[in-house]
Chain A
Amino acid sequence: MSIKVRYFASLKESIGRSEDNLEIAGLATVGDVWRYANPNKVLPDNILAAVNMDYVEWDAAVNDGDEVAFFPPVTGG
């Protein structure tokens, strides 16, 4: 299946890229997507996840065509 992964802010800087386009079978959850895309990267504390621009937990399911995003706590306003 096809998954677009996006990274923002300090997380984007620390892993050195803003997105990945994955073509892989067998990714069931948001946590799987992180581990596949960043196999050697310890997950920084407090990272948030979204699927198709809605917040989700790490065990949320992913489906073909989803956009998964990872980012640090938000600091707007």
Chain B
Amino acid sequence: MAIDKNARYLESHEYAKPSGEYMVFGISDHAQAELGDVVFVELPAVGKTLAKGAIFGTIESVKAASDLYAPLSGTVVEVNEAVKNDPSLVNKDCYGDGWLIKVAPSDPAEFQSLLDSAAYGKAIGEE
């Protein structure tokens, strides 16, 4: 499974990746493979404030519907409209075109508290 080295992860498989002054949230390659074909993504409105660990949306595949947890606190500045219209982008390119939301972090230090790519790799390798 691909693990983007620029991103950091939650054990629940969401990632946060720096993009200029913002952070991009998405789900890992491992998560999209486990979910199978994604058929629906529900994302928050731009401007919504998220606390670290809060549910920011829902992702639904033919197997299951799962909540999405915010890796970091912040305010939503952009939502990936393309992925709402074509949820298969999450399966095809979870670290690229299949990103979910872009957030202005309120506490950038939280990024350091997430799992780095090595620690996340270890976490999913043990599953």
Partners in one complex: no
Residues of B within 8 A of A (CB): none
Could you list which residues of chain A lie within 8 angstroms of chain B, going by C-beta atoms? none
